[in-house]
Structures are given as structure tokens and as C-alpha cells.
Structure 1
Amino acid sequence: MAKFNGRLATVVLGIAAAFGAAPLASQAATAADKVRVIVAFKQGAVSAGHAAIAAAGGRTVLDVGGFNAVAVELPRKAVALLQRSPHVEFVEEDKLQYAFALSDPSGPPYLPGQQVPYGIKMVQADQVSDSTTTNRTVCIIDSGYDLAHEDLSANHVSGENLTTSGSWSTDEAHHGTHVAGTVAAINNSVGVVGVNPNKNLNLYIVKVFDASGSAPSSVIAKAMLRCGMNGANVVSMSLGGSSPNKLQEKIADWLTTKRNTLVIAAAGNAGNSTVSYPAGFENVVSVAALDVNKAWASFSQTNPDVEIAGPGVSVLSTVPMGTGTTASATVGATAYEVNGFTGSPLGTATAPLANFGLGDHTDPAVAGKVCLIQRGSVDFATKVTNCQASGGVGAIVYNNAPGGFLGTLGTAVTTIPSVSASDTAGADMLTKLGQSATVTVAASNYALFDGTSMATPHVSAVAALVWSHYPNCTAAQMRSTLNKSAQDLGDPGRDVKFGYGLVQAKAALDRIASLGCGN
């Protein structure tokens, strides 16, 4: 992380005169009195601007570099004075922005070998060769990349770390590795495949999040700049915040107009009509989320800035090695597809299957048995806790509505493995009460996440995939082609839920072949 180290040789009293006020550096300020802001200097006024910061009692904590801007900590009362400096273009609060995933790692069902996540086929990535993607670079701004991962280690990847946690090749938040897997998980004998699975695409990772999953806007702005300086064709940001940031907007404009870069960001997970940034900027593509049935995800934000959509519900992808979970369940000779509850301990239990009803009270009749529990009445943690308190050794909660589901135990601490199953699986298990049941929740290198964070890498990866076949197209033309070739969903034409619709790789490729770039 670059920091400003220039010598302040200017006399402080002279700078104070420029403000028309006594210097504030000598005024003690507690941590509560201080604020972190971004200060952008006017052209040719960098040195004078730094001196003005010092006179205001400020301390530079990040030099964005290349855009005459720094992040500064200073007394809150000094902000207005700094804004009036003739050397300063603007001052804005350096607010936090966040990774846009909704869930912690949830256990996918155990299936041997390699799986193709539903989103790969939904965006038509399986119909387009990625053999030409050696000419494209996707820059992922996120929480890092697990370089030791079995499905990621052989990619063409490099990066840098803008945090104080680990390195770009580690991922304490798990989020960036999940995003990267959707872009480029390798076609091998294990795990999953990404949109670009054959180790041809170039990846550049800029780590901005530590385990907290949040970072100041200035850090993300610097990451955007670093993407451009390292040859990114596509910048992918599964992140955002509720407030626009002038510096990020300037860099997004520069990436688009000066570096011919396509900038893509998540629309946000608030489930309302608010706008998240950087997705809301004119030169950033805002991505909404869909489920496996191409229905709008209820958490996905809806507003006129939404431009295109991608798969974002129960997306299976990579997480740092051993940090996810996988789940399985058998009763008698029948294996069932189940999901591990988030918060379930790892382990295996084998015992006779017993009907535990709704699990809303304890029952000694299930002691030493696996509890089969219907969803409803009380929360999952209560159901599993009651099973455990009754002497149960494992729990299977089946749905009271069609299909399977993901669930969490929240803050409850349990000691027995617990999984969720579909309504049809539960109905079938009810015919096998008393038979031997085995429930397993085990460590995994993969997980199911929800969020516009998961939709964004689908779009970013498709953009790189299609663009690699027609590298002479401009970023603006690629953006136009992706929008015009998207599968229209919802109201006819562009709408606030789906934008132009679901991104489609083969349709975009065919459109360029027949009509040319951007048409």
C-alpha cells in the first residue's frame, strides 16, 4: 500500500493564512472527533494540497496515486475548512463498502467427481470455446484468491494486496475465492467448472477486503486504478455501498474512456429500489441476480441502473480449501440430496430414523436416533437443539414446500450433524422410519452462496469470453452487444429487475458474427 511520505517544508502559519484561520494541528482531537475523508487536489496543486492537509491536522493514510487524491484522517471540524482550500478539488467521506454475498458457506450435497454449476449452462458458457481467452485479463477486486485451491492453482493469475491481512493469494473472507471460481474454476476431475475453465484466461487479483468483508471507498478506488495499470480488459467488483464516490466515478470514467476497460459491479442485495455504488455510475454495468429458474432474486436491488442479470442464488463455487462443508444422507439403501445447515458441526451419525414431528419440543423417544423433522412452527436452531436435548444423534429437516432449501442455525451451538432435505425426500424418508440412517456434514472446498456478488462474475466472465473472440471490439461495443443479446426477462425490454435480461455468451458471439461489434 503506497503512502505519502513527502517533506512538509512549508511554514504552517502561511498555510493557515490560506484558510483564514489558525492552524488546527495543535488542537487535540479524540478518535471520536476524527473522520476519514478522500481529498482530491486540483491540477498542479498536489504539494500545496498536502500542506493544507497538514495544517488541518490531517494524516495521510493512503495515496491513491495517479489521480491526485489521498485518503486522510483529520479532525471532523477541519473538513469544512479543507473544502474551502483553493488547492482542493473536492473532499468526501471515505465510507466503507462491502462484499455483496448474503450467506456464509453452506454445504452443497455430496456428489463425487466434478460438477457443472447451473449458472454455467444458463449463461451459455458451455457453448463457447475459451481457447482464445489468453488475450483477455479479468481483474477481480475482492477478498483475495486461494492460490492453493485444487480448482484454481493452475490458472494464469497474479495480483496485489491492499490490506494488512495475508497476501493477495490468501482469502480470509472466502468471498473472492468464490467469485474467482465462477470466473475460472478449472476443468479437471474435481469440484466445479467456471465460465472460462481451461486455464487460458488471465486473472489479476486486487485484495481489498480482510475477514470483515469491508473496506474504505478509497482502497477500492485505488484497486480500480491498479486494475487499469495492470492491463485489465474487464474489472469485476462484487461489492458496493449506498453512497456515490466521486473518486471511484472518475476512475471508472478513466478506465472506460482511456483504458478501453469494461467495468462491472453488483447491483446490491437490499431487495429495494435504492442504488448501490459503484454499480450506479454511468460507466459501470450494474448486475442483478436470478435463481435457477431465471426468476428475479428477492434480495436483488431494483432500479433504472440495473443493466443485466446473472445467476446469483445457491451458486456453487470454490472457497478456500477446507472452509466449506458438504453434506450427505442415506436411509436404508437410498441416498438423498441434502444441504448442510450453516453452523452445523462436522461429523457423521448413524442410527435408526425416528419421526420427530415439527421438532418444537423434546421427546425422549428419539434418544439414540436420527431425528426426521418437518420444517415449520419454530426455527431450525430450535428444532436441532430439541433433537439434541432429547438424545438424538443427528437431524434431517425436510421442507414443507416444494423443493430443497438452505438454512442456518444462527448463533446456536449444537453438537450433532444437521442437514436439510426437500419435501419429496422427506415424504420418502417417512416410509423408512426405523431403518438405519446416516447423516454426514464434512469439510469441503466448495460452497453455495447467494448474492448479486455471485451474479457479477458470471457477467464479467462472459464478457471476457465473448470479447476474446473479437478483441478488436471496444469495451463500449462489448457492453452494447451483451445488452442487445441478453435473454429478455420480466417486462418487455429493459426493466428495473432484470435490466436487459440474462447475459448470454453464445447469443452475444453470434450477434457479433452476424452484425458486427456493438450492433
Structure 2
Amino acid sequence: MKRWGIVGLLALAACAPESSTRASAQGQVCPGIVAGGMSGAMEARQGLDDQQPSRMDADGREAVIIRFRQQGRTQAAHVTASGASFTASTGANVSAVYRSIPAVAARVTPTERYVLERSELVESIEADQIWSAQGLTPGPFARLARQAQAVTPVPADEYTEGLRLVGAPEVWDSNGDGVLDPGAPTGEGVKVCVIDSGLDMGHPEFQGAVVASHDFLDKDDDANDQDGRGQWGQGHGTHVAGIIAARMGQGGATGPRNTPGGMVGVAPNASLLIARVLDLQGQTQMSVVLSAMEWCDDQGARIVSLSLGGGTATRSTVEAFQALRNHGVLVVAAAGNQGGPVLYPASDPSVLAVGAVDANERRASFSNAGTELALVAPGVDVLSTFPRGLGAFAQMSVDDTSPLSRSLLYSPTGDTSGRLVDCGLGDSLDACLEATCDGFVAYVRPGAVPVDLAMANVMKQGASAVVFGSDDGPAGGAVNIFSLPRSGHWAPAVSVNQAASTMLRQRLGADARLSLAPVDYTHVSGTSMAAPYVSGVAALLWSARPELTPQQVRDALEASARDLGLPGRDPVFGHGLVRAQHALQRLP
């Protein structure tokens, strides 16, 4: 497959000489400008959950799960085989045959569904729901980790903020020298199955980590985060997998000079099983996840990490998750990012639901809550691996100051300079005061319109780079979480925190310089990032005690969590923040 390059490269045509005058206050734009998304506003919007693909094919077929009746102790696999044969005889397109539940996935026409619903073999027909990734949004700036030369021990600054928050280094690097302690639990011998968008298989952090992979969309064993044409996805699975098992001392590019470095996962010697189920937009169907779960079981997984969700429980899903638990597999799932009730499948009784907290152990505003919530883990501004070159390291200078800045996800890279111009809310084509078509750096106060629309507005007025400010709020002055659409024509863009915003507003009109360099890591937020921390800690426990049952591991994780919020278990934090060393001490 082809090596992926930065998407959404800046494609601004050069302005004619006479365009150096100010853009019209009536909303006229600079000539020759190409800005914005390539196929309309809906495609340009960030956020996975707002894009719900239809379950109906162009030929009128609907995606469904067909359950068959079981008689007495008849094995599900035998019932399913008979039912699959009957389903195919109706003309339905069978896409998956399950062995743990008496069901198949199929695409049916209304006529075929009518025939199936009236068969004595068929117990019920369930909708094949759409499930989505639960987090892929860039977080505030944080200095990327560095790595020493290969001949020296790995320094402790590979240990990310989230890694330290869950106490993983205390388990396998008790003296903090950057070297794994001999005999310490590291995840060695434990297989963690990541059901997600696939992986950048060539990323340095995963060399030697992946023991098996399968692409359930393209139906092959190449689980790179790509479609069949080589188009890369959103990097969600790469970020999740790095939190679990990024290797010690195997860093990629992290800084403006493309120097080596990186981070280390919670269980740095765990084995990864990679199941690609999410498409390029971060979505999948329930039937595909069920197939991936059976594959994980076949491969000997002890843990399944699910940073996706949506829909509601069905009899088939409840039985499928229960079957995994009965086979000795712990399923860990993200609670969801809507700020509402815990999403399915995290809310399933056989699944451990994980919410998100920030570095100060405060609940993330987006993190779902409810009685099903078991634990919380770092999920705000989490540094982890990303497809090579997709992340961007940002540096900014204004006069003699260098405010902390964070590249917008999918921003083009490069060096840009110009006057810092106030563009207000970026909500119109006359928002930029003193704009010129010679190019300038736009300062935008976000929130009035979507980020992509604000970007297009100020670019059309001549902006060659964009800085998004931030208001002080409950996040404690953190940088706002923004992303650009992956397709379209965009200028380099960064966001800054509240302190930097105040300073920049005092320096409007000054010369500003932005430098964005491609790197192999990024900070993103979501309960998708919290779930793999718990998956990694579970791997440490099984590494120490392979004979444990999923319930014993879960009991140790919950009993040892740091109690947050109201005393005891509560719907906001569950049992509390997962803690690796304390969980080991609670093992029976």
C-alpha cells in the first residue's frame, strides 16, 4: 500500500499584484482564492457521530441480523449453519455466519425479509446498527517526548502524562531509569485485541507488537488504516493501540527537526491483535464488530478493547458479549462522548465501561455517565501514536514571545508569516479587519460558526494562516479542541489557550510566524482514549497472573481505583480512576 502524505494541502492561488488592497467590506473576496471543503458543508464537518450512513444499499437491500430458533441444547453453530443455508436460498446476501450466537448477518430486499420473517426457522430480525469511534479530536499543546540515542537507556520523558496518571511506570520501571525491570509485569504473553480502524503497521512504535491482523472491511489480512484504494483513515486505531502497547524506545518523528522519540504504552510488551472494522469516516456496522469479536477469541485474546459504540442492546449482542466473557475474555469499551448516558456496548452487563478525566482527575465535559460506568481513565489531550506524518508539531512566535500553540488535526504543514489580523468570529466574508490579499495571519474567536466555515471565510479574505483563540472556562485555560476536514483546501492552522489568546489580542498588528512540522504522534481527546488505558492495565494484571478470570481482573481494577467524586461508586466516575500498581496489589 502507498505511503500516506499530509491530506488537505494548502492550495491558495497567488493573488494578482493589484490585490494588495484591503478586501471589500461588502464581503468581496480576494481573486484566485480556493478555500474550504471539496464537497459541501456536510462532508466538511468534524465529528463521527453526525454522519450516519444508510443501511440501505442502492439496490434496496437492508443490513440486518437474522436470529434462528434453538431447540433444547442444540449448539448455536449447528443452528446457524442450517439457518445460513436457508437465508441464502431466499436470495439474501449473507455477509457473516456466527458460531457464538444462532445468527447471521445479511442484506435483504423487502421481499426476502418478508419470506424470512414468516419462516419457522427465524426467531427475529434485528437492525444492523451503525457504531462509531468515540474520540478523535486534537487537544492542547504539550511538548512531545524525546528519546536519547539508541546506545543509552530510554529516558523517562517517553512516559506521557496519562501513563503516569494511571501509575503504569511504577509497575515495570520502579526506579524510573527508563529500563524495564527484570521480571516485572509488562504485558508479556497477553494478547490485546484492538477492534478499531486498523493501524499504521509501519509505525516504529509497533514493530514486533502485532502478532495477527485482519481487515473486516476489505476482507484481507492487511489491517492498515486504509481502504482498498490506499486512502488513509482518521488514525483512530493507531492512537488507541499506542496507548496500550507502544514499544519502549522505538520512537518515530516528534519534532521540527524530525528527531526520533515517542512514547511508551501502558503494557509495553503486550501482543496486539488488530481488527479493522471502522471505515474512513470512523463508522462501522454492528455485524462487523460481532465478526471481529469472534476472530479475537479465535486468536487467543484475553482483552478486547472497543473504542466505539452506538445503537442499543439486542439479544444477539448481549449473547455475543456474554460468550466472550464465558471464554475468558474481558471486553473494555468507551462510555461515549455525548455527555449523556453510557453508550452501548459499554453499557452491556458483560462489558467494562470507561469514562474520561483530564490530567487533574476532573471529569471530561464530553464523557458519558451512568450507573453502568465502571472506571475512568485519562481521556483529555492524550498523547499517542498517529499515522506517520499526519500529526503536526506547531511553533508560533509573535514579536519576542512564543505562545504555546497546537496544530489543528489534518492541518497542512509548512512555515507561514504575516501580520496578525483580528478576524473576529470568522463568521462572514468581512470579518477580518485590515485584511489584505497579500496574506496575513488571521486571529479568530471560535464558536460562532463551525471551524471549517470560519477557515474558509478568512482564507477568502486573504489569510495565509489561522490562529484560533480560546476563552477561559472550566477546562482551566486548555486549548480548544478543533479539527479540519481531511479533504479540501486549507491554510496552516493552530489553536492556543486562554493565556496566549489574551496576549495575542494585545499584539494585533504585530508580525506572527507559524511553523508546522509533520510528526508521528498527536494529542486527541475522547473516551476512546480512556478505554485503552484500562485495557493496558488489565494486560499487566494478566501478565502477572495468567490464571486469573475476567471477573477477578475486573474486581481488582474496580476495588483499587482512586475514588473520585461522591464516596463510593457513582455515575460520574464509576469506581474511580484506574491505577495499575494498586490493582496488582488487590489481586487474590
Q: TM-score normalised to the size of structure 1?
A: 0.82
Match of 1:501 in 2: 576
Cα 1:268–1:113 change in 2 (3 A) is same
- Segment drifting more, 478-487 vs 280-289: 280-289
Say if 2:140 and 2:481, in contact at 8 Å, map to a contact too: no
Could you say what secondary structure the match of 1:209 adopts? coil
C-alpha separation in 1, matches of 2:65 and 2:505? 61
Identity %: 33
1:78: Cα distance to partner?
Answer: 4.4
Task: Tell me how far 1:474 sits from its aligned partner.
Answer: 1.6
1:267 shift after superposition:
1.5
Distance 1:439 1:122 in 2: 32
Residue in 2 that maps onto 1:157: 211
CA distance in 2, matches of 1:30, 1:219: 16
1:439 alignment counterpart:
514
**Alignment correspondent of 2:67:** 40
Q: In 2, distance between residues paired with 1:303 and 1:194?
A: 28
CA gap 1:420/1:65 in 2 versus in 1, 3 angstroms: same
Distance in structure 2 (CA, Å) of the matches to 1:30 and 1:418: 38
**In structure 1, distance between residues paired with 2:91 and 2:194:** 35
Residue 406 of structure 2 is matched in structure 1 by 339
> 1:72 maps to what in 2?
106
Give the letter aligned to residue 392 of structure 2.
T
Task: Note the alpha carbon deviations across 1:372-425, whole angstroms, 9 max, x for none.
Answer: 736368445576556545555433333231523134375696654222222222
- Counterparts of 1:347 and 1:109, CA distance in 2: 19
| Residue of structure 2 in register with 1:134 after alignment | 188
1:451 Cα deviation (Å)? 1.6
The structural deviation recorded for 1:68 is: 4.3
Q: Hey, what's the Cα distance between the residues in 2 that align with 1:182 and 1:32?
A: 41
Counterpart in 2 of 1:358?
424
Report the counterpart of residue 394 of structure 1 in structure 2.
Answer: 465
Q: Residue type matched to 2:532 in 1? A: P
Structure 1 residues 74 and 119: alpha-carbon distance in aligned structure 2, compared to 1, 3 A threshold = same
Is this contact kept in 2: 1:62–1:70, CA < 8 A? yes
- Structure 2 partner of 1:272: 340
Q: Displacement, 1:279?
A: 1.6
Aligned mates of 2:551, 2:345 — CA distance in 1 = 17
Task: Indicate the residue corresponding to 1:468 in structure 2.
Answer: 543
CA deviations 1:216-266 (Å, max 9, x no partner) are 212211111111111111111111222213333222212212x21111111
Distance between the aligned counterparts of 2:320 and 2:537, measured in 1? 23
Q: How far off is 1:306 after superposition? A: 1.2
Offset at residue 95 of structure 1 (A): 1.8
Q: Residues 135, 416 of structure 1: CA spacing in aligned structure 2 closer, same or farther, 3 A cutoff? A: closer
Please tell me the residue identity of whatever aligns with 1:310. Answer: A
Say which structure, 1 or 2, has more relative contact order (CA 8 Å, 6+ apart): 2
Within 2, Cα distance between the matches of 1:230 and 1:378?
A: 49
Listed as ranges, the matches of 1:103-122 within 5 Å are: 103=137, 108=141, 111=144, 113-114=146-147, 115-122=158-165
Q: Look up the match of 2:317.
A: 248
- Matched with 2:155 is none
Alignment match, 2:287: 218
- Give 1:325's aligned residue: 392
Partner residue in 1 for 2:263: 192
Could you tell me how far 1:164 is from its partner in structure 2? 1.0
For 1:15, the equivalent position in structure 2 comes to none
Q: Indicate yes or no: 2:478 matched with 1:404.
A: yes
Query: For the Cα contact (< 8 Å) 1:371–1:387, is it kept in 2?
Result: no
Change (3 A) 1:40 1:425: same
Residue 283 of structure 1 and its aligned partner are, at CA, apart by 1.1
Q: Which moved more, 1:67-76 or 1:29-38?
A: 29-38
Confirm or deny: 8 A CA contact 2:421 2:432 kept in the other structure: no
Q: Letter of the 1:358 partner, please give it.
A: G
State the match for 1:230 in structure 2.
299
Once the two structures are superposed, residues 260-315 of structure 1 have per-residue CA deviations (whole angstroms, 9 ceiling, x without a partner) of 11111111222212x42222221111111122222222222222211111111222
Which amino acid is the alignment partner of residue 375 of structure 1? R
CA distance in 1, matches of 2:565, 2:140: 31
CA distance in 2, matches of 1:311, 1:214: 23
Question: 1:65 touches 1:222 (CA, 8 Å); kept in 2?
Answer: no
CA RMSD in angstroms, aligned pairs only = 3.1
The 1-side partners of 2:116 and 2:378 are apart by 45
Q: Closer, same or farther in 2 for the Cα pair 1:136/1:202, shift >3 Å?
A: same
**1:128 counterpart SS class:** helix
1:311 is matched with which residue: 378, 382, 385?
378
Q: Measure the CA separation in 2 of the matches of 1:165 and 1:339.
A: 37
Whole-angstrom CA distance in 2 between matches of 1:126 and 1:465 = 11
Quick one: structure 1 residues 61 and 416, their matched pair in 2 at CA, closer, same or farther if it must change by over 3 Å?
closer
Q: Per the alignment, in what secondary structure is the counterpart of residue 206 of structure 2?
A: coil
Match of 2:133 among 99, 102, 107: 99
TM-superposed CA distance for 1:112, in Å, is: 6.3
CA positional deviation for 1:494:
1.5
State the AA in 1 paired with 2:480.
L
CA contact (8 A) 1:59 1:74 kept: yes
Asked if residue 206 in structure 1 is aligned to residue 279 in structure 2, the reply is no
CA contact (8 A) 1:318 1:447 kept: yes
Task: Give the total of aligned pairs.
Answer: 479
Determine whether 1:281 maps to 2:342: no
TM superposition shift of 1:462? 0.9
Match of 1:418 among 488, 493, 496: 493
How far is the alpha carbon of 1:473 from its aligned partner? Answer: 2.3
**SS of the counterpart of 1:442?**
strand
1:335 offset after TM fit, Å?
Answer: 3.1
Deviation at 1:439, TM superposition (A): 0.5
Q: Distance in 2 between matches of 1:416 and 1:372?
A: 10
Q: In the TM superposition, what whole-angstrom CA distance separates every residue of 1:165-188 from its partner, at most 9, and x where no partner exists?
A: 775441133111111011112222
Instruction: Please tell me whether residue 143 in structure 1 is matched to residue 197 in structure 2.
Output: yes
Offset at residue 436 of structure 1 (A): 5.0
Whether the 8 Å contact between 1:63 and 1:71 is mirrored in structure 2 is yes
Per the alignment, do residues 478 and 30 of structure 1 end up closer, same or farther by CA in structure 2, a change over 3 Å counting?
Answer: closer
Q: 2:525 aligns with which of 420, 437, 450?
A: 450
- The structural deviation recorded for 1:127 is 1.2
SS in 2 for 1:339: strand
Q: For structure 1, which runs of at least 5 residues remain unmatched after alignment? A: 1-28
- Would the alpha carbon gap of residues 92 and 128 (structure 1) be closer, same or farther in structure 2, given more than 3 Å must change? same
**In structure 2, C-alpha distance between the alignment counterparts of 1:37 and 1:359, rounded to whole Å:** 45
Partner of 2:167: 124
How far apart, CA to CA, are the structure 2 residues paired with 1:473 and 1:30?
45
